[in-house]
Each structure stands twice: as C-alpha cells, then as structure tokens.
Structure 1
Amino acid sequence: MSGLIMPAFAQVTAPAAADEAAATTDGNDIIVSARRRSETLQETPVAITAINAAMLENKASTTIGDLQGAAPNLLITQQNSGAQAANLSIRGLTYADIEKSQEPTVGVVIDGVFIGTNTGQLLDFFDIEQIEVLRGPQGTLFGRNTIGGVINITRTRPTMEFGGKAEISYGKYNTWSTRAVVNAGNGETFGVKGFFFHNESDGFHRHGITGKRAGGVNNDNFGVSVLLKPAESDFSALLTVEKQKQKFDVVNSNITQTGELFCGFEPANECNRNTRGDLYTVFGSPATSRYSAPAATLELNYDLGAVKVTSITGWRKSREAQTQDFDGSSTDLYYVYRGQRYRQWSQELRFSGDIGDRFDYVVGGFYFNSRYSLTQWTRVFGLNPTIDPRVFDTNAQTVRGNVESYAAFGDFNWAFADRWRLSFGGRFTHDHKKLSNSFATTGLVGSGSGSFKKFTPKIGVDFRPNDDTMLYASWSRGYRSGGFSPRAATAATASTPFGPETVDSYEVGTKLDLFDRVVQFNFAAFLSKYKDLQQNTTIPGGPTGNQTITSNVGRATIKGIEVDMTVRPTEGLRLTGTLGLLDANFKTFLAGNISPTGVLVPFDYSRNRPIYSPKFSGSLGAEYKMPTGFGSVVASTNLRHISPYDQQISAVGLTGNFNTGPVIVSRNDPRVRTDTQNLLDASLTANFTLANTEAYFTVFGRNLLDDRGTTAAFTVAGLFSFASAREPRTYGATLGVRF
C-alpha cells in the first residue's frame, strides 16, 4: 500500500463550487476545494492532505477508517456502540460519544453536506473522487463542531457517457464484497449514475463458548445520481438519492478485572484478560445492530459571470435498533436494547467571485435542523439472557432532542502586494437546542432549552518568494456548541446546560516543490489553546444512584509538528511519508465525581493524558508501476506507525482528601491505553485488457505484522470494563473491470 498523500505529479480535478473544473497552470497541480473555491494544493495556506482513494482500494479498504495514521495527526477508530460510527481525532481534538446529542469535534462533509452525528461516517471508498483532510479549526467555512478539522469527501459525478466499473473481492474470515458504478447520458446535457456496494464478513472474533465466528457484518449502500446541464446555459443541477443498510453482530471484549463489581459474578477465566490477543475471544450473549439510512443531496450551480452561486440541500434520516451485552461475559449482567431515530436537514447558499485582479471572496449562509429520539431498555442482573430487555425493563428511558442552527460566513483573499496575500474571514453561528429525558413509568425527569452563539474569526498571511515556495502563518478560532446532558437522571441536571468549548489555533507552515518538482514537502507547526472542555463525569443521583452528565471542566494546550512528503526519483516510482508529533497536556481539569468514601467531591484530572493524542504517528510508503506486454503491474507497500494513546479519561492512583476534595488523579487506567501500532499493508495489481475492457487483478494484505490491540476501551465507574479489537492480519484478492 503506497503512502496516502496525493502524488504531486498526478492531476486530480475536484468539482468546483460552480460545477466547473478549475484551470491548472500545468499538469502537475492538484486541485482542492478546502476553502470552498478551487485552487492548487500548494497555493492553499491551510494544513491539508489530499488523498487518492484509489490507493485505499488497492488494499480492499471499505471505509474511511483506513485513513488512520496516513495523514499527520489523524486517528479514525470504529465505535461499535453505533452503526457505521467513528471516533475521529485530528491534532488531539476528539469526543468519543455516539449519542446523537453529543456532537463530533471533527466534521465529516460528504458532497458538501455536514454529517451531524458520529454514526454514518464510515463511508465506502469505491465511488470517491477525492478526500481532503483539513487539520485545525475550520469554523469559518465549515461551521461549528469542526474545532479539530474536517474530512471533506467528494464522490464522483455522472460522466454523461456510458461506462462504469465493477469489482468483486474475497478475503480472510469469509469476507467478500461486490461493488459497481454505471454511468449513462447524452454526453452534453444529461447524465445518470447508479451505484451499488455490498460487503459482508463472518467477523474476526471467536466466541469462547460456542467456538463460532463472531462480529460479522452485512452492509449495503445503493443509489442514483442525476446531473443536468441545459445547453447554452451556465446552470447545472446534481441530485443524489441513496440508502445505506447495515446489520452487524455487536461484540464486546471483556477486560473487567479484580476489584470491579462484575468480576465477582463472572467465571474466573473471563476476568483479568489482557488487551491484546485475549480481545479476539468473546463470551457475551448474541447482540445485533440494524441500521437503515436514506439520504438525498441536491446541488445547484449558476454562473452569473461576476458571481457564482451554489446551493447545497441535504437531507438524511436513520433508524437504528441495537442490542448490546456491555459486560461482555457469559453471565447476564448488563444488556441493553437501544432504538433510535434521527433526521437532519441542511441548506447552504454560497456566492463567490473576484473583485479585480487582487481580491476574491466566498460568502454565504447556512441552516441546519435535526431531531432525534432514543429509547433504551436495560436488563441489569437479569441472569436470564432469554428475556427481551423490552420485557424486563418496565421503566425504559427516552431521550428526545432538537437542534436548530443558522450561520452567516465570509472568507476573503487580498493580494495586497507582489507575492503577498492576506486571508481573512469569519462566521457567526447561532444554535438553539432542546432536550428532554423521561422514563416510561416514573415520567419526565427533566428538560432543557437554550441558545448558544459565537463569532469565529480567522486571519492569515502567505508569501511566495518564488513559484516553488509558499510560507504562511494563521490564527483561527473553532467553536463547538453547548447543549444538555442526554444521560442526566435528575430534573436539575437535565435542565442545566453545558457551555460551548473553543480552540484558538496558531499555525505556521511552508509548502515546497523542490528539484524541479521531484520532491513535494509540506511542513506545519501549530499551537492550540483549548478552553472550556466538555467532558462526561459521573455524579450521584437518579434511579440507579449514579448519573453521567456533561460539563465544562477546564483547559488544555496542544502543540505539534506535521510533515507531508512525496518523492518521485525515477519514472514509475513514488515514495511517500507523513509525520505527526503531538504534545498535549491539560492545564486544568476539575470535575465533580464520587470519591472512594461515596461522596461527591472535586476530582483533579490535570495529570491525565488527553485521549486520542499519540505523541508520534507517521507513515512510509512506496509504489512502483512497471509497464508489461499485457498492460502494467503496480506493487505498493505502506507502514503506519502510531505510538500509544489513551482512549478514555479515567481515574487511577487516587490521592488527596476523599471527603472534601480535591481528589488527585495520577493517570488514566492502563487498560484504556493502546499499545504501539505498526500496521504494514501491501498489494500487487496487474492491469490488463480483456475483450476491449480494462481489467485489474489485485492481491492484498492488511496488517501483515498481525499487530493486535484495542480500537476503543472503556471502564465504567468501578463496575465493569470492555473494549473493541482492531482488525488482525487479513488478506484477499480483487477482480475488477472498467468500461
């Protein structure tokens, strides 16, 4: 698998905001739309990695999860508590929670539409045109809840001509997939694209009692896109209608240890298990997740000459039904059924253009509305897995919420002197949120309603001493909206909002094309001041005696360095590398929690490590393409290295005053820390012609070193602990055609 930075010598044209391919100065330029305008990668004063999705297809990747470690300071791990859910972290900024009311810190934008929840983000790669990873706050153009950055995904547009591609893959663990995209049209004014993706697997876990495979998945994504471009008109319309359906076995690996309550009720061999090889044997009761998510996107573009107008309308809906054995043991201790519904609707209207030769702009407005509901039935110490939680729990908990947000934004470039440019802009965002929490028999717990607003500015300057060098510096502010606690269990906590959190990010960088563009080298250094952190904490209250609330707990400082590099020393050979260094520390982190003596006192977590913040991550890759008599052969390999990082804020090594506080927390629980990851991937592809059709055959291997460990791990208030395992060594083959 080659490195994942877009090669500097391949032209990739992303759709412009007004549905036109931006002109490039020569065939070596990479066109990106990171600032809602088409410009070359090396002229964009933003820390950005443009990623070629075809590289990921070479190793039979199915979701964006394989970007982890490929772009500097980017982590993407799967969260099995929600369908197609991801924990995303850029530059150490993350929020690992799948509740619909808990919004992400990294925005995922698909064809211009912001995805409002962590679920539904693990997108299939097969029909992707380009992926841009924007690092640092992107609040000016992409809005609230992008304080860490944005993953901007652009899918292919209808070609307006007959053609397509299709492939079938098979691999270890009885994993197979079929994918197809077919285009048709009249070549000028009308085009239609149909797509269908299917993948399934028996899963890479083994059940410790039945001996059968566990963790299987069955996923379908299908839809159609229609593109209209009336003759002799500067107008275009693109409508995409699609649906995603998923069913998967929900498995938790038990990592409960002696001293936690549940360990006393579980068989001895199911407690005190390690967080490496033991993760792949599970013991829990069968559990299933079903997810159905239709969606529609309408993009309208109108070029008025001096002004280009873009309208993007997005609608998404989902229904989820998921059971989960959270204790992960063969003893029936904590089993839930979660039924959820979600709907989001968004509208963005943008205007862009030039004023003279030295000034350009993008201005616009944005509206977002979402509604969601969750009902959870819980079977606690039922000791009978045959009883449906919906029968066992007569006092089910229901959470209902609504988010309404609107914003106005502007982003401007002013070439104020020869080779100097000033970039500046801002966004004003207003959010209104409602949340209610109730139980089926005991009634309403409480509800909250409140508004949050923020202006998020950005300013930067860049200088090009020559055509192959750019230097830039910037300051930007990111904003993540406040809200209400979905797990609150008293009237007071349910009605008390937590406030917004903000990040001030300072960045300097350079982008270089060296040795007649044989080497592309991009460097960035940044300092982020993180204020009013939102964090879940456990306090007394509610029917079970404890409740989890979200509150603003303190401040953090994150410093880092990032490098992207591509080298093409000879014809057919490309070498790539990335590097990310992070130094993340809490300055203050005070939260109310329950002390060992059973009273609520302040806990000081300032000594803990921030989560999803590895000190080092990077990748090295090589790809070699060799012509042959039948076509070509492409060999590629990639090594991703990620140093250990914590996955949850937890309390270990307590000292201090347990009765009045503060209680000093020395570190996070070692079970929620990953080990060092060395992920080696490789593939070999033969491209050939078959009956006037382009065909390819790929053999691939992922995680060839069989590096095993956690992708997520949680401890639950001295009761129990559970984890998710990363994919072990796997391999397979793919046969595909393009026509």
Structure 2
Amino acid sequence: MKTHAIRSALLLGAAFTGLAAVPAQAQDQAAAATDQATDSTASEAQGGNGGDIIVTARRRLESAQDIPLAVTVLGGQQLTETGAFNVARLQQIAPTLQLYSSNPRNTSLNIRGLGVPFGLTSDGFEQGVGIYIDDVYYSRVAAATFDFLDVAQVEVLRGPQGTLYGKNTTAGAVNIKTNQPTFDFEGTAEVSLGNYEFKQARTAVSGPLSDTVAVRVAASLTDRRGTIRNVRTGQDIQSLDNLGLRGQVLWQPAENLRITLAGDYNKQDANCCGSVFVRTVSTQRPLNRQFAALAAALNYAPPSTNAFDRLSDLDSTLNAGNVIAGVSLRINWDVGPGTLTSVTAWRHWDWKPENDRDFTGLPIVARSQNPSQQDQYTQEFRYAYTSEAIDFVVGAFAFNQRIDTQGLESQGAAASRWNIAPSNALSNDPSVLNGLTARNTQFLKSTSAAVFGQLSWKVTDAFTIQPGVRLNYDKKEGFYQRRVFTGTGTELTGTETDARSRAQLAIFQPQLSAPEDSDWNFTYDLTLSYELAPDVLAYATYAKSFKTIGINQNGLPTDANGVPIAAAGAIKPENVNHYEIGVKSQFWDRKATLNLAAFRTDIRDYQATVTNGQFGVLRGFLANADKVRSQGIEADFTVRPSERFNAYVNGAYTDAKYVRFVDAPCPPELSGGTTATAGQTPSAPGTPGGISPANCDISGQRLAGVSKWAFSFGAEANAPGSLFGEAGQFYLGYDGSYRSDFSSNASPSAATLVKGYSLSNFRAGFRSDDGLNIFAWVRNAFDENYFEQLFIAPGNTGLIAGLPGDPRTWGGTVSIAF
C-alpha cells in the first residue's frame, strides 16, 4: 500500500475513534455569526435555539437540523482557522464540493460531480452550482477564486435549488452571508505571515452614523510568491495577489424596514497561471511528430522530468489580471407575518489573461490572450411568509448579461517545425507560421426571467409536505468572428489553395457565426419530511430540474471540408431527475449530530465540453452527451462531549458516470492518427501513425474530476488559561482530508488519472474571552505531492502537463475583535 494511503487510513481511523464530524464548535460560531449575517431579526431567532446552526438556505431563519435539505454550514471563525479563505479551499472541509481552476476563467465548481463540464470554460452555458453573496447571484465562477471578505457564514446546499433561488441551479448552491452593519461600534483586525512570503491582512469596522443609519467597511489583502520556479524568467509563478474592498450602508427608517446599499471591488494580479512537465504518452500521431522526436529536432528538454521539483520554463508572458466588482441594493420590509425582499444588483467582471498554451519553453504558441468584460444586471423580488402551519416563499427573478471578448492567438518561431509534417519542406521554414495571428471578436447576450415558489405545509406536528415550482425563460444571442493574418500582415480568407496558405489555415481558420436560441422550462419538486422522534428528521425529495440551453460561443466545429456546422450552434437544455432521501439526527443531549443522505441524479442531454486536440482551430465546444448519472451516499457526524473537545467526520461516496456517450472526444492514446473511415478498424491505443476513431464511446466511464471517495475529518481540544493577562483557552486542532483518484480529462485516460491523496493541517494557539486569537498553523503538514489537475497539451504530441498542489506551508495569525 502506498505511503499516502497508509497515512490516510491511520488518520481517518483516528478521527473515527475520536467520534469526529463538521466541528461542533462551528455550531456556536455560525450561530453567533448569523446574528449579523441575516438582518436584525436574526438575533431574536437565535435566542431560543440552544446553539443550533441558523441558516437562511430556504430564505428564512431556521435551524439547519430542521430543514429537509442536505447542507454544510461553515462559520467565519472556522474558515479563518482552517485556512479556507476562498471557495477553492472549502473542498478540504466539504468533501462533496469540487473546484478545479487552471486560471480564474477556467474554473469548474461542482457538487456531487455535477455543475459544469470539466475543462476549458465556455461563456455559452450556465453554471449548475449557483454562487450567492448576500442574495446576489454571481454568474462568473471566477468569483470562487477570490478571497472571502468579511464573511459570517457559508452554506453549501446540495441538490437542485431552482424553486428557492433566483437563478436556476441543478447541482446546488454556495450561499455566502457577510457580516452586516451594526448600530453598536465593533471591528476586527487580522494579520497572517507565512513561508513563501505569505502575507494576509483583513479588517472590518462597523458602527452607527445616526439612530437610523449604520455602516460597515471591510478590506482584505493576500500576497504570496509562487510555488513553481520559472527557470527561463527567474520568476516564481502560481503566486497570490488579491485585494478586496467592501462597503455597506444600512438605513433603518422603521423597525420593519431595512435598506442596505453595498458595493465591492476585488482585484487579482497574480503571476499566474502555469504548469510543469509531467510525462509523455504514446499517441497515434506519426512517431516523428510526437513529443520526443519534435523536442529532439528543436534541441529542447524540459527543465525537469520530476513534476515535484516544481520547475517550469514557459516562455510566454503569464498574467491572470482579474477584477470583479459590483453594487447592490437590498430592501427587506416586514409586512404582516412575512417579509418582502427586493434585491437589485449590477456586477462587472474584467478578465485580462496571458497564457502559454503549448506548455513548453519553445516558441510554438507565442501568445494566447482572450480578455473579456462582463456586465450583469439582476433583479429579484421575493416574499417569505411564516405561520404556525404554513410557510412559503414566492419570487420573481430577472437576469441580463453581456460578455465581450477580444481574442488574440499567435504562433512563434518554432511553430512550423512543431506543427507541419517533417515530410513537408515548409516545416523547415520558420516564417510560414511565425507571427501567424488569429484575432477573435465575440459577444454574448443572455437574458433570463423566472417566477418560482415553494410551500411548506405542516400537516401534523411531525409530517410536512413541501412542493415547489419554477417557470423559466432563457434567451441567448452570440457572435463570433475569427480573422486570420500571416506574419507579414496579410489576411487569409480561407479560400487560398497554395501550400503555404493551406499550412497556415490548418492552424487558424477564419470563421463567422452568430448562434442564438431561446427556451421555456417548467420544473417542480416535492419533499416529504417526518419527525420520527425529537431531534430525528427523515425526508425524501424528488426534483424535476433543468439546465438551460447553451450556445457555442467560441466558434463552431467544422466538417471534413472545414465548413462550420451551423446545427452545432446551440445545444439542448439538460433534463434532470433528482431523487434523495435523508435522515438528520441529534442525540446525547444534542452533543452529537449525525446526518445521512442518499441521492441519485439522472441527466439527459448532459452538456459536455468537447476538444479536438488541435492548436488553434477551437478552444473547445459544447455538445450533448446522451445520459449521465450521479449517485451516492453522504454522512456528516459531529460530536462535542464537552466545551473542551469537539471532533468531526464528513464522508461522501459518489458514483458519477456517463451512462451513454457514444460520440465523445478520444483520449490522447487514441488520437492523432488518420481518422478511420467506414469499414476501417482503428489501431490499438498508442500506435504511432495509426488509425484513430473519429470519436469514442465512453459510456460507463467516470465523469472527470469526481473522486469515488472523499472524506474530511478533524478535532480540536482546548484548556483554560491566560496569556498577556487575558483569560481564555489554549487550543490544538487538526483538520484532514482524503480523496481517491479522479480523471483529469473529459474522456478518461490512464495518462490523465490523478492519484488519490490526503492532506493534513494543524493549528495551535490561544483565544481570549475578549476576542484575541493567536495561533500557529501548518497546512499540508506531511508535504504530500499531489496534482490539482493534469492537462493534455495541444497537437496530439503526447505531452502531459500538470498543476501541482501547494506544498507544505506554515505561518502564524493574530486577530482581534473589538
């Protein structure tokens, strides 16, 4: 058994022996945080809950144990102490959450293996996991890469949420609540220092301007040098450079009316995003056109063949400039037994990337830049009613978005030798492809409108029926134009027949397309819940959901003659059937909590990302897979036998696979050869110069990015004491996680299988009764070598590059609340 597997088994066993799950400490933290996070009525609701976790997942204040919904709740203090300062780090303590990010734009956020297809992101389809911050929907998943800013509580809701939330979500939602303005003066300040020159500072101040107006301002700054050394430039890449600012003004002219104006600005300017050499595999390209032969011909060798030397030699400039900002106006008006809410918001996203898309130190792809700007407007109206027997939420939601992209891709001096067959004399002429440039202009207009509602009818004291409905309209309009210019500035029309032009057009083809589509969807869900005993709730849910239409916004695939396939402009909506049963329980005088859920989600016309392995023809396009299924079991267990000890274990088994996908892209070992025609038998995998299938049947294989097994576990013990004359407690905490192997390519391949790994984080410190917290921390304490992602380099050369996960990091944090 491998070392990391042995270590994982020991750590997991120790955690179970200690009766561990999401820290019970988080119950107190989240309950306290929700006072500020959910408007002024929260404090009244908190008073009688005896330390319950209070959530707003169903748009009203409830105990997390009382709602028939699988939800993970994480408090602000827990996020700080575990180092989970953004969504990416949440997955170490929420095992059903998966986030992959090769750069902020190409980020996938999934729950239970579903949400968005793994791989290059397209603007033309919707996210299956919604991100909400203070009721505002964030359509750009790049928001998940930013630091949390003055966050009180994070709720991870699993399963379809379309009858409760503004934007339809088929896989779940991440509901983030920030601390709200207060009429008592208060503040927090925090500073962290660590290795790799890690520096993080966060602060927030809140207080009154008058009897009816209160303000809150918060700021966050994170900086760290990169963990990969670029030997060509002498720079460290994969750095962190995040700035966040947020301001809120609360006007409360009457006890039943609260109006909050909020604005935020978040900026990233990291030296990112790069990769390292991992391995090469045999493809079906001719042997003299595979990586070893091409590298030898160009006298090239990677700086290291050991990925965990963390050395790179990328020669193109790297940048991940990223700004997300916005303004929102939230009105809560208590009308009779319910609350009327209006949320009006504008969001802006400005993305300025620079990449090295050949993953080598050779000047093959000289530039790959696709800057984008998004403006998003949303309006949501919602009325939440509560009575002894009936609760309901009804709402309307409108969404308008425009994204403009200005793409620039160009070839370098080594492109001719790398891309043109050696038998062609043009391969020895660098000027053929050097400077060949594609300029892409595109925009997307997306409009969505919906009405939704959910009713909770308490038929008896124990039995509740909860139906929900949603009616949704979506329209998408796209535009894509690619113009191609030679190194001398001559524009190619695509009709040229001379050999030089044909070699150039094999890299970049001019194209013009304007796909558009619209669709109506009616969906619904039904949940039945029954209180089997005090503090034991059983529930069953069926949801008929959908993910709306998509369009191919990055250009259309072409036929054998190079003609764009117009029918591929739009893709069908996903048709989702979701089933779930669960039990929520507390026992041992509520010192222990055990929640179990079993689920199955069937999706027809699953929206998949397809790539064709070529350098510049397409970044990837969308297509429908016939059927996908995700099913599994989840368990969350928490114990707190005393104020001096708490422990937790979360576990998930997820079986997510393609039930039927017969025309999928092929993995690298079956790509690069002559495409098989009718009657021809494809060659064996990895046969140089062989015959490749036009596409592959991957039915029955696992979805990319999904581990069958995932666990998080940990514990904390404390003892009373004093420090610097301050009374409080000394504490020692541990948080661990394990996930089994997963595929890092849409079509599974042994070449892109990421091995399972475990991570261990420790912390030790002192908390005073007056808000001082001083602690030291070490993350990835055993310096586990693991990959976050593996990448197949373009051109079917067999090169596999990768993004190593963070090595061991350590440091200290001092925070104070006043």
TM over 0.5: yes
In the other structure, the counterpart of 2:750 is 670
Pair 1:701-2:778 in alignment:
yes
Pair 1:597-2:674 in alignment? yes
Match for residue 330 of structure 2 among 291, 299, 302 = 299
1:349 maps to what in 2?
381
The alpha-carbon deviation at position 431 of structure 1 amounts to: 0.5
Letter in 1 for 2:788: T
How much has 1:469 moved relative to structure 2? Answer: 0.8
Within a 5 Å distance, the mapping from 1:291-690 to structure 2 comes to 291-334=322-365, 335-354=367-386, 357-383=388-414, 392=435, 394-440=437-483, 442=493, 445-489=512-556, 491-493=564-566, 496-538=569-611, 548-591=620-663, 596-598=673-675, 601-629=694-722, 630=726, 631-650=728-747, 668-688=748-768
Task: Indicate the residue corresponding to 1:53 in structure 2.
Answer: 76
Task: State the Cα distance separating 1:432 from its structure 2 match.
Answer: 0.2
CA RMSD of aligned residues (A): 2.8
Instruction: For residue 486 of structure 1, report the CA deviation from its aligned partner.
Output: 2.2
Amino acid at match of 1:92: G
Superposed CA offset, 1:602-629 (max 9, x none): 4211143211221111111101232213
Which residue of 102, 112, 122 corresponds with 2:125?
Answer: 102
CA distance in structure 2 between the partners assigned to 1:470 and 1:705 by the alignment: 40
Alignment partner, residue 240 of structure 1: 262
Mapping of residues 22-33 of structure 1, within 5 Å: 23-24=45-46, 25-33=48-56
| Distance change >3 Å, CA 109–CA 545, structure 1 → 2 | closer
Deviation at 1:56, TM superposition (A): 2.3
User: 2 CA distance for matches of 1:446 and 1:104?
Assistant: 23
Shift of 1:349: 0.3
**Aligned partner of residue 603 in structure 1, secondary structure:** coil
Shift of residue 4 of structure 1?
Answer: 4.2
Match of residue 660 from structure 1:
none
Comparing 343-352 with 182-191, greater Cα deviation is found at: 182-191
In 2 relative to 1, CA 92–685 (structure 1 residues): closer, same or farther, beyond 3 Å?
same
How far apart are residue 566 of structure 1 and its match?
Answer: 0.9
CA distance in 1, matches of 2:474, 2:214: 38
**CA gap 1:210/1:322 in 2 versus in 1, 3 angstroms:** closer
Distance change (3 Å), C-alpha of 1:315 and 1:126: closer
Change (3 A) 1:273 1:398: farther
Tell me by how many angstroms 1:259 deviates.
4.0
Distance 1:494 1:376, change over 3 A: farther
1:90 aligns with 2:83: no
The one-letter amino acid paired with 1:632 is: Q
Q: Is the 8 A contact 1:327 1:721 kept in 2?
A: no
Per-residue CA deviation, residues 253-289 of structure 1 (Å, 9 max, x unaligned), is: 2346254645544355429946x525x2111023112
Conserved? CA contact 2:591–2:639, under 8 Å: yes
Aligned to 1:249, the other structure's residue is in SS state coil
Corresponding letter in the other structure for 1:216: S
Shift of 1:5: 4.9
> 1:9 and 1:446, CA in 2 relative to 1: closer, same or farther beyond 3 A?
closer
Q: Please give the secondary structure, in 2, of the residue aligned with 1:707.
A: coil
Q: Does 2:796 align with 1:718?
A: yes
In structure 2, the residue matched to 1:729 is 808
Q: Hey, what's the Cα distance between the residues in 1 that align with 2:653 and 2:463? A: 29
- More divergent stretch after superposition (711-720 vs 328-337): 711-720
Q: When the two structures are aligned, how many residues end up with a matched partner? A: 709
Distance 1:379 1:428 in 2: 45
Q: CA deviation at 1:168?
A: 1.4
d(CA) in 1 for partners of 2:168, 2:23:
25
* 1:176 to 1:229, Cα distance in 2 relative to 1, 3 A: same
Distance verdict in 2 for CA 1:42–1:602, change over 3 Å: same
Q: Out of 221, 227, 235, which is 1:204 matched to?
A: 227
> Which of the pair has more CA radius of gyration?
2
Q: 1:111 aligns with which of 134, 154, 174?
A: 134
Q: Distance in 2 between matches of 1:86 and 1:394?
A: 26
Q: Aligned partners of 1:262 and 1:380: how far apart in 2?
A: 18
Q: Deviations over 1:505-548 (max 9, x none)?
A: 1111111111111111111111111211111224699x966673
Q: 1:436 to 1:382 in 2, by over 3 A?
A: farther
Give, in angstroms, the shift of residue 590 of structure 1: 2.1
CA distance in 1 between counterparts of 2:753 and 2:395 reads: 43
Structure holding more strand per residue: 1
Q: Shift of residue 9 of structure 1?
A: 5.3
Aligned equivalents of 1:363, 1:15: Cα separation in 2 = 25
Q: Which 5+ residue runs of structure 1 have no aligned equivalent?
A: 651-667
* Distance change >3 Å, CA 109–CA 472, structure 1 → 2: same
Helix, strand or coil for the counterpart of 2:188? strand
Looking at secondary structure, tell me which structure has more helix per residue.
2
Question: What is the identity, as a one-letter code, of the residue corresponding to 1:612?
Answer: G
User: Residue type matched to 2:259 in 1?
Assistant: A
Q: Residue 54 of structure 1: SS of its match in structure 2?
A: helix
Q: CA deviation at 1:61?
A: 3.7
Identity %: 25
Alpha-carbon distance between aligned partners in 1 of 2:704 and 2:371, rounded to the nearest angstrom: 29
Which whole-Å CA distance do the structure 1 matches of 2:161 and 2:318 have between them? 38
CA distance in 2, matches of 1:546, 1:100: 14
Shift of 1:363: 0.2
CA offset at residue 188 of structure 1?
A: 4.6
Go from structure 1 to structure 2 and tell me whether the alpha carbon gap of 1:597 and 1:143 turns closer, same or farther (over 3 Å shift): farther
Q: Which amino acid letter does the alignment assign opposite residue 648 of structure 2?
A: T
* Alignment partners' CA distance in 1, 2:767 and 2:103: 40
The separation in 1 between residues aligned to 2:301 and 2:482, in whole angstroms, is 37
Q: Which runs of 5+ in 2 are unaligned?
A: 1-14, 284-289, 416-429, 484-490, 494-509, 557-562, 677-692
- Could you tell me which of 184, 191, 198 is aligned with 1:168? 191
Partner-residue secondary structure (3-state), 1:577: strand
- Call closer, same or farther: CA 1:681–1:3 in 2, change over 3 Å: farther
- The superposition leaves residues 292-349 of structure 1 with CA deviations (integer Å, 9 ceiling, x where unpaired) of 2221121101111133100111211121211101222111112312211111111110
1:398 Cα offset (Å): 1.8
User: Kindly tell me: are residues 263 and 402 of structure 1, through their superposed partners in 2, closer, same or farther at Cα, counting changes over 3 Å?
Assistant: farther
* CA distance in 2: counterparts of 1:707 and 1:61, whole angstroms: 18
Check whether the contact 2:104–2:145 (CA below 8 A) recurs between aligned residues: no
CA distance in 1, matches of 2:277, 2:567: 31
- How many angstroms apart in 1 are the aligned matches of 2:697 and 2:539? 38
Question: Structure 2: which amino acid aligns with 1:497?
Answer: A
2:630 alignment partner, SS class: strand
TM-aligned CA distance change 1:237 to 1:39, over 3 Å:
same
Contact 1:485 1:493 in 2 (8 A): no
- Is the CA contact (8 Å cut-off) linking 2:191 and 2:813 kept in structure 1? yes
**Alignment partner of 1:80 is 2:102:** yes
Deviation at 1:425, TM superposition (A): 0.6
Shift of 1:160: 2.2
Cα displacement (A) at 1:14:
5.7
CA contact (8 A) 1:486 1:494 kept: no
